[in-house]
Amino acid sequence: MPGSPYLDERPPGLLTWPLLLPILLAIFVTECIVGVWIWTSFPDWKIVVYIILGIDLVTLIVIYIMTTRARGENLE
């Protein structure tokens, strides 16, 4: 990756965007498609869409904590 401080190989356990972004994008698009389908086809199940959004929020918080923790460990 151009401009990366990791010249030869990626350190183990470090979440980097080239690895993480395609996974997150696929999960997010899938959840959006399922959420819109549930919202329009089954209006009584709108709570499921809220649960999906809650799972997304928790996932983003966990990823943020993991990436900042990994960055903090490398400061020594």
Q: Is residue 4 part of a domain?
A: no
Q: Which domain holds residue 42?
A: 17-73
In a domain, 3, yes or no: no
Across the chain, mean pLDDT equals 75
Flag whether 48 is in a domain: yes
Question: pTM, whole model, 2 decimals?
Answer: 0.56
For 38-57, the DSSP string reads: HHHH-GGGHHHHHHHHHHHH
pLDDT digits (tens, 9 = 90+) for 33-45: 888 898 899 989 9
CA–CA separation, 62 and 44 (whole Å): 30
Amino acid identity, residue 66? M
Number of separate domains in the chain: 1
What is the full per-residue pLDDT of the chain (76 aa) written as tens digits?
A: 555 565 566 655 555 666 777 888 888 888 888 888 988 999 899 898 899 888 888 888 887 787 677 555 554 4
Q: Output b/e per residue, 21-39; b: 16+ Cβ within 10 A.
A: eeeeeeeeeebeeebeebe
